Amino acid sequence: MNQDKMIEEIIKLKKEKNAVMLVHNYQRPEIYKIADFIGDSLELARAAAKTDAQIIVFCGVDFMAESAKILNPEKTVLHPEKLAVCPMAQMVTVEQIKEMRKKYPRAVVVSYVNTTAEVKAESDVCCTSANAVNVVASLKEKEIIFTPDKNLALYVQSKLPDKKIIILEGYCYVHDKILAESVKKSKELHPNAKLVVHPECRPDVIKLADAVCSTSQMIKYCKENDAKEFIIGTEEGMINRLKMDCPGKKFYCVGGTCLQMKKITLEKIYDTLKNEKGKVEIKEKIRLKAKKALDRMLEVS
Ligand code: 13P
Ligand code: SF4
Question: Which tens digits make up the pLDDT trace of 161-201?
Answer: 999 999 999 999 999 999 999 999 999 999 999 999 999 99
Do 18 and 141 lie in a common domain? no
Q: Is the CB of 67 under 6 A from ligand 1?
A: no
CA of 193 to the centre of ligand 1 (A): 23
CB 147 within 8 A of CB 167: yes
Helix (H, G, I), strand (E, B) or coil at 198: coil
Ligand 1 centre and the CA of 25: distance in Å? 8
Same domain, 72 and 121: no
Look at the chain and report how many structural domains it folds into: 3
Say yes or no: 187 and 227 in one domain.
yes
Residues 105 and 147 in one domain: yes
Three-state DSSP at 288 gives helix
Residues 7 and 70 in one domain: yes
How far is 107 from 101, CA to CA, in rounded Å?
7
**Domain extent for 162:** 88-171+286-300
pLDDT of 20 reads 97
Do β-strands 125-127 and 143-147 pair in parallel, antiparallel, or remain unpaired? unpaired
- Is the distance from the beta carbon of residue 217 to the nearest atom of ligand 1 less than 6 Å? no
Question: Is the same domain home to 142 and 291?
Answer: yes
- Say if residue 270 is in the same domain as residue 139: no
What average pLDDT is seen over the chain?
97
Distance from residue 2's CA to the centre of ligand 1 (Å): 30
Secondary structure of residue 195 in the 3-state scheme = strand
- What is the C-alpha separation between 103 and 129, in angstroms, rounded? 26
We report the CATH number of the domain holding residue 128 as: 3.40.50.10800
Beta-ladder partners of 145: 109, 166
What pLDDT, on the 0 to 100 scale, is given for residue 124? 98
Q: What is the pLDDT of residue 1?
A: 86
**Nearest atom within ligand 2 for CA of residue 200:** 7
Nearest residue by C-alpha to atom 3 in ligand 2 = 258
Minimum-distance ligand to the CA of 126? Answer: 1
* Residue-level pLDDT at 4: 96
Q: Which of 190, 188, 189, 233 lies closest to 209, judged by CA?
A: 233
Do residues 115 and 63 touch, judged by C-beta distance below 8 A?
yes
pLDDT, position 38:
97
Considering the domain architecture, whether residues 295 and 150 belong to the same structural domain is answered as: yes
Query: In terms of domains, do 42 and 165 share one?
Result: no
Calculate mean pLDDT across residues 250-264: 98
What is the percent of the chain where pLDDT is above 90?
A: 99
Q: What is the mean pLDDT of residues 138-151?
A: 98
Q: What is the DSSP letter of 279?
A: B
- Are 119 and 97 in contact by the 8 Å Cβ rule? The answer is yes
One domain for residues 160 and 296: yes
Write the pLDDT tens digit of every residue in 157-169. 999 999 999 999 9
Give me the pLDDT at residue 203, please.
Answer: 98
CA of residue 213 to ligand 2 center, whole Å: 15
Nearest-angstrom CA–CA distance, 270 and 11: 9
Give the atom of ligand 1 at the shortest distance from the alpha carbon of 25.
4
Q: Residues of 155-172 as b/e, b for ≥16 C-beta within 10 angstroms?
A: bbbeebeebebbbbebbb
Same domain, 242 and 296: no
Nearest Cα residue to atom 3 of ligand 1: 214
User: Could you read off the pLDDT of 20-44 as tens digits, one per residue?
Assistant: 999 999 999 999 999 999 999 999 9
Alpha carbon 189 to chain centroid distance?
30
What's the pLDDT tens digit per position in 69-126? 999 999 999 999 999 999 999 999 999 999 999 999 999 999 999 999 999 999 999 9
Q: Are residues 43 and 113 in the same domain?
A: no
Give the per-residue pLDDT at 301: 64
